[in-house]
A and B are shown apart, each in its own frame.
Chain A
Amino acid sequence: MANFSKSNVPQFSVEVYQNEYLPEGGREVNAIVTVTSTGGGTTGGVPLSGVAATPTHVPGQAPKAAVVIMVDCSGSMDYPPTKMRNARDATAAAIDTLRDGTSFAVVGGTHVAKEVYPGNGRLAVADARTKAQAKEALRALSAGGGTAIGTWLRLTDRLLGAADVEIRHGILLTDGRNEHEAPEDLRAALESCAGRFTCDARGVGTDWEVKEVTAIASALLGTADIVADPAGLAADFTQMMENAMGKEVADVALRLWTPVGVEIKFVKQVAPAVVDLTDRRTEAGPRAGDYPTGSWGDESRDYHVCVKVPEAGIGQEMLASRVSLILPDPSGGAPQTLSQGLVRAVWTEDMAASTSINPQVAHYTGQAELAQVIQQGLDARKSGDFDGATAKLGRAVQLASASGNEDTAKLLSKVVDVVDAATGTVRLKPKVAEADSMTLETRSTKTVRVKK
């Protein structure tokens, strides 16, 4: 049936890619679950048939959203002074990108968090006047003080929590290490904010800690990236805000139901980036658990599910897992199932069937290993283990080349000289720009999809 009016209601589809055939005694079942949300967002994709509509908001109307921008105002932002100026300009550009009607606030972060606009624990509603006022308020931003990101996040949580909206999102910019609070303070802040709002995190310059920024993005289900040159901030902020404005539905969870005796080995998001969700399960009834996926616009993500099933005889077939997308009811009723797929196990004598590896599973197993060996290689390099670093980064070059992950291959080539990509033969570059190694580390989890 033709759909002429652009719907703002996203529709979810779940596709499962797996080799369900196991040999006698086989127990491990791997599947790649592709989740696609269409019909909402800014591009107006084609709605999928047979999928229940999302009832959280009226069709034809964008969902109500609230965004808080957290700008680092620590003393280091003045070295060089262009950094503070660029941050101010980037925040202004992001404010310009706000859709009218969106609630927003700007927080200035040092060793404490301060409301820059509108103040008094409130959010402003975006229109021409409030946008102009906010940009005016940015002029007052000046650098001075320390860095305690946990306090910024807690203030943002208070501001967003007061808003009656569907999408809650934060944008965080830092240029330095989280030096003015204990690591456990940041961890506690992340734990208390997780599931309450999503947050993208950016590091500007090269004096910040990659693991801190990526941990914030991963805990709050947003993206992490480096903006090595402050001049690039405005474009990056605009894009982040556009993404946030494209979100249509929040708090979607991936629910895994498994039969008695089935053990979950891991659940990972594998595209667009690797995020291990295994430990973030919350129980949801008998033999079912929910893994958070955050908010969705028009997009597609892949998840790798690995389970261990009980042994069964040749010719047996069982459901190893039922994977569904769940939307909680804001009023506390029964959650809505958006779409679902089945992961199966079939025991066969046919060795050709049971020994073949599904190409999607093979590909993402490689992408996850790629992210891991980059981390390990860079860590080894930092600790002076150059042989270990060469081996790990060589393997990374080989994996990136074989899987067609050209962006990562390009980043790797700034850290190592590639002798032969096919065999993974590399030499460490004697001098590597800090920005290059930080870019590689920050983006190591970015994956590419299977070439089709």
Chain B
Amino acid sequence: MGVKMSQNPQETALSKCPGCEEPLEPGDLFCGACGYDLSAVPEPPQDHPTIAMAVPAENGAAAAARTPAARPAAVRFDEPGGSGDFELAAPGAAPGVAPASTPSAEASAPAPDPRTPAAELPSTPPAGTKLCVACRAGRVDNDGYCENCGHAQPRERDHMEQELGSVAAVSDRGLRHHRNEDSFAVSTTALPDGSPAVVAIVCDGVSSASRPDEASAAAASAANEALLESLPRGTHPQQAMHEAIVAASESVNSLAEEPGQAMEHDPHRHRNAPACTLVGAVMAGGLLVVGWVGDSRVYWVPDDRTNPPARLTEDDSWAAQMVSAGLMNEAEAYADERAHAITGWLGADAYELEPHTASFKPDRSGLVVVCTDGLWNYAESAAEMAAAVPADAQLRPLHGAQVLVGHALDGGGHDNVTVALLPFAVPPQGAGSACGNT
């Protein structure tokens, strides 16, 4: 499983077999797991980790999407030179995109998983024949398993991408977990004065709880909706963030009351209430407001890299508590096996909900990185995170988020990885400083 640590997205391309996602060693000619002929994989174009388009229409609509430009596809490096046709068009400028889909729908749909590379390419069997990604021999049954080797096929949540002009997010199952229990929501709205507000919420389901994937999805969506409701009413962003976390918490709590159909069959998952972490960022009125519960984080990476980057959140974790209580130094605390046990979360069995919020007034432009530990485990310090962020991330936030997910996957991808990037622009003459913190 040893994957070479790399920050070069070009190498990201061949770090995994395009057929079965098995990690590869440099110099491999064939995949050790499925025998995929790697010499047949075209050279990757420069610096394009993942190219995504709108989610494919489930049935009838797909028939209309026959031209390469409109074909619903999510591919990784399969079309040398032709990648431009597959590139996600920027909102508002979508030449060659199917006329039926509006730019915003295009941008907001979660991308299909890039692990189904060949399935939608013109060279594959006629539509409807979906071949297994693992053995490439069996058809896929209605339950999402291969009819030959039984392997589970990638699900929509395994890899999700979204870009809304000024904010972008990417979420990936990673390499060691069987499903993606992270979730995110990004959106834009306007304050009463008409100035824009940008929202990003990232949640990480607690694996030891039941239905963590449902918890994270519910929390991200509830917090996002709460902010979209309160910010246009003129609620102060920090107050709005606090209320959003409370709303997310209630939404996760209510999951515990619904008996899931699958639960009785699955006593292992039955043992405790659905739970997740939450971290959010709001940019509005020149302020950057962050809020969190758990160990998902926000980093600040100034555009001018000569300025120091910073971490803006304080984990609700065992290690962070030990350090802040002065009982251990950081090295000792993080070396302990309990280091990552979280001490705060959203869920019916949480001790007491303590939403943390903080408000900043940046005096220079920079990038806000909102992420789960699936990313920051591979870039823990603010300096490491800044080093992993591509230099042009504020101009191409979706691309930047893709590169950061690639960074975590190259590091081993031991957890689900989710990151949202919000470029924060300050007009050159602007001045100010951090203004408060709760």
* Shortest CB distance B89–A (Å): 33
CB–CB B268/A353 < 8 A: yes
Please encode chain A, from 113 to 127, with 1 for each CB lying within 8 Å of some chain B CB and 0 for all others. 000000000000000
Please encode chain A, from 15 to 54, with 1 for each CB lying within 8 Å of some chain B CB and 0 for all others. 1111111000000000000000000000000000000000
Stretch in contact with the other chain, from A81-89, A317-325, A394-402: A317-325
Q: Quick one: which of B228-278 are within 8 Å of A by CB?
A: 265-268
A92 to B179, CA, bound (A): 63
Nearest neighbor of B173 in chain A, beta-carbon distance: A315
CB–CB A19/B151 < 8 A: no
Asked if A346 is at the interface (CB within 8 A of a chain B CB), the reply is: yes
Asked if B174 is at the interface (CB within 8 A of a chain A CB), the reply is: yes
CB–CB B150/A348 < 8 A: no
Q: Quick one: which of B144-180 are within 8 Å of A by CB?
A: 145-152, 173-179
CB–CB A261/B149 < 8 A: yes
* Shortest CB distance B408–A (Å): 14
Asked if B208 is at the interface (CB within 8 A of a chain A CB), the reply is: yes
CB–CB B178/A16 < 8 A: no
A247 to B374, CA, bound (A): 56
* Shortest CB distance A91–B (Å): 45
Nearest neighbor of A31 in chain B, beta-carbon distance: B265
CB–CB B150/A15 < 8 A: no
CB–CB A318/B1 < 8 A: no
* Interface footprint category on B: 20 to 34
Nearest neighbor of A19 in chain B, beta-carbon distance: B268
Which chain B positions have C-beta within 8 A of A262?
A: 150
Nearest neighbor of B269 in chain A, beta-carbon distance: A353
Asked if B337 is at the interface (CB within 8 A of a chain A CB), the reply is: no
CB–CB B174/A316 < 8 A: no
Asked if A278 is at the interface (CB within 8 A of a chain B CB), the reply is: no
A5 to B340, CA, bound (A): 59
CB–CB B268/A314 < 8 A: no
Asked if A75 is at the interface (CB within 8 A of a chain B CB), the reply is: no
Please encode chain A, from 304 to 322, with 1 for each CB lying within 8 Å of some chain B CB and 0 for all others. 0000010011111111100
A365 to B12, CA, bound (A): 47
Please encode chain A, from 356 to 370, with 1 for each CB lying within 8 Å of some chain B CB and 0 for all others. 101100000000000
CB–CB B268/A356 < 8 A: yes
CB–CB B174/A21 < 8 A: no
A20 to B152, CA, bound (A): 13
Of A16, A20, A259, the residue contacting B149 (CB under 8 A) is A259
A257 to B396, CA, bound (A): 48
Q: Given A316-B151, A316-B178 in contact, is the A21-B145 Cβ separation under 8 Å?
A: no
Asked if B336 is at the interface (CB within 8 A of a chain A CB), the reply is: no
* Shortest CB distance A28–B (Å): 15
Identify which of B1, B145, B150, B267 gathers the most chain A CB atoms within 10 Å of its CB.
Answer: B150
Which chain A positions have C-beta within 8 A of B148?
A: 259-260
Which chain B positions have C-beta within 8 A of A18?
A: 265
Nearest neighbor of B137 in chain A, beta-carbon distance: A260
Which chain B positions have C-beta within 8 A of A21?
A: 268
Asked if A342 is at the interface (CB within 8 A of a chain B CB), the reply is: yes
A259 to B143, CA, bound (A): 14
A260 to B147, CA, bound (A): 9
CB–CB B265/A17 < 8 A: yes
Asked if B129 is at the interface (CB within 8 A of a chain A CB), the reply is: no
Q: Quick one: which of B1-57 are within 8 Å of A by CB?
A: 1, 22
Asked if A352 is at the interface (CB within 8 A of a chain B CB), the reply is: yes
Those 9 A-B pairs whose CB atoms lie nearest each other, nearest first: A259-B150, A319-B145, A317-B152, A319-B150, A318-B150, A315-B176, A317-B178, A318-B151, A346-B178
A–B pairs, 23, beta carbons within 8 Å: A15-B265, A19-B267, A259-B149, A259-B151, A260-B148, A314-B176, A315-B173, A315-B175, A315-B176, A316-B151, A316-B152, A316-B178, A317-B151, A318-B152, A319-B143, A319-B145, A319-B150, A320-B150, A342-B143, A346-B178, A350-B207, A353-B268, A358-B268
Not counting A259-B138, A349-B176, a sample of 8 additional A-B residue pairs whose C-beta atoms are within 8 angstroms of each other reads: A17-B267, A18-B265, A20-B266, A316-B178, A318-B150, A319-B146, A319-B150, A356-B268
